[in-house]
Amino acid sequence: MIHETHSKLQDRTFLLLLILVSIAFLAILWPYYEAVFWGVALAILFAPLHRRLLARMPRRHNLAALSTLLLILVLVILPVTLLSVSLVQEATHLYERLRSGQLNFGAYVQQVMAALPSWAVGWLDRLGLTNAASLQNKLSSVSVQASQLIATRALNIGQNTLQFVVSLGVMLYLLFFLLRDGRALAARIRNAVPLNEEHKARLAGKFTTVIRATLKGNLMVAATQGLLGGLIFWALGVQAPILWGVLMAFLSLLPAVGAGLIWGPVAIYFFATGAMWQAFALTAFGIAVIGMVDNVLRPVLVGRDTKMPDYVVLISTLGGMTLFGINGFVIGPVVAALFMACWDLFAPGEPV
């Protein structure tokens, strides 16, 4: 009896110690959680490519991992870095135009209001949206806040260059070892988890599926819509096409929202100011090309059987980005998918 009590005390003490050192280790990693997260995400995404390279050079694990890492640099990291530099330049230029008064959103809205039919003006008047002074003040306030945010972000990027370089180095260093030793590490973690094999396999499968679906599918769809939107804005002479293209790509990550929130108001402005061919061209391109990308590419890249309900994706993406910033568009859906998978294991039933 005494021996049994002593053994339970040892087990509980060891479990407490394990929890404490795990929390301490996570606290140490937290300043670089973004680097760790993206290292793991990219390792999962490019694991099939690494396995193909390893099959061609079965005894050269380091070379296969290094080759995969170089391909990731060329295909992902360098393009994103160049796009970020261009985005900061355009955002800074836009801020200067907003601050100097060269760009006045209130005046644009007034042009649209003046071109509306009387029934539309009456409807807006009932909603209290025709007061020119009030509308001007609201738009000016929003413009100032947006410009301040743009300037702050651009300044932070400049000040945190060293932090960015260090984080990038940590991510690439970790990514190399995850590619090389990822299967062994995953097997060790899987063996340590105190669940039965069926549950572990199902949860691991859900985790990797959502990571790959979000990065390979949703991100590629968003990038395609943003690229197409930026191109049509550039062709029509809209200011800051890269900035608006990035915003369209960002909104494309959210189901039921989409890039139409960016190109739609611009098309309305073209209609209101008499630029009819630009208005028709942008509307037709937005509906027939940008809008159809989601319907055509997403099922091919993501797969219908791996998608969660749109309302779950929307809420989890918004919540994830609120908590974790831009990284939340991956973290949110992953947490939601694991939540649904765990509850499905606990209380099996028909999928919603």
Q: How many domains does the chain have?
A: 2
Shortest CA distance to 46 belongs to which of 218, 214, 212?
212
Residues 217 and 161 in one domain: no
Shortest CA distance to 214 belongs to which of 315, 303, 82, 323?
303
Mean pLDDT of 167-172: 88
- Domain presence at residue 73: yes
- Domain presence at residue 223: yes
% of the chain at pLDDT higher than 90: 6
The segment with the largest mean pLDDT, out of 60-64, 99-103, 144-148, 162-166, is 60-64
Residues 6+ apart with CB under 8 A from 116: 124, 272
Residues 155 and 244 in one domain: no
Helices 276-285 and 260-272 cross at an angle (nearest 10°) of 160
- Domain presence at residue 272: yes
- Domain presence at residue 72: yes
- Domain presence at residue 298: yes
Q: How far apart are the first and last CA of the chain?
A: 50
Domain final residue, candidates 182, 207, 242: 182
- Domain presence at residue 89: yes
pLDDT for residue 312: 78
pLDDT for residue 71: 92
Mean pLDDT of 44-72: 89
Residues 315 and 245 in one domain: yes
Q: Give residue-wise pLDDT tens across range 298-318.
A: 666 655 555 677 677 778 878
Residues 205 and 288 in one domain: yes
Mean pLDDT of 92-114: 63
Q: Residues 229, 263: contact at Cβ < 8 Å?
A: yes
Residues 201 and 341 in one domain: yes
% of the chain at pLDDT higher than 70: 73
- Domain presence at residue 14: no
Residues 202 and 334 in one domain: yes
Residues 156 and 240 in one domain: no
Residues 314 and 336 in one domain: yes
Domain span at residue 311 reads 196-347
Helices 219-235 and 260-272 cross at an angle (nearest 10°) of 20
Mean pLDDT of 81-97: 72
Residues 151 and 250 in one domain: no
Residues 62 and 93 in one domain: yes
The encoded tokens of residue 100 equal 């100097």
Residues 167 and 229 in one domain: no
Instruction: Tell the burial category of 118 from Cβ atoms under 10 Å away from its Cβ (0-12, 13-18, 19+).
Output: exposed
Distance CA 55, CA 48 (A): 11
- Domain presence at residue 265: yes
Residues 158 and 241 in one domain: no
Q: Give residue-wise pLDDT tens across range 272-300.
A: 777 788 888 888 888 888 878 777 776 66
pLDDT reading at 268 higher than 60: yes
Burial 303-312 (b: 16+ CB within 10 A, else e): eeeebbeeeb
Q: Residues 330, 211: contact at Cβ < 8 Å?
A: yes
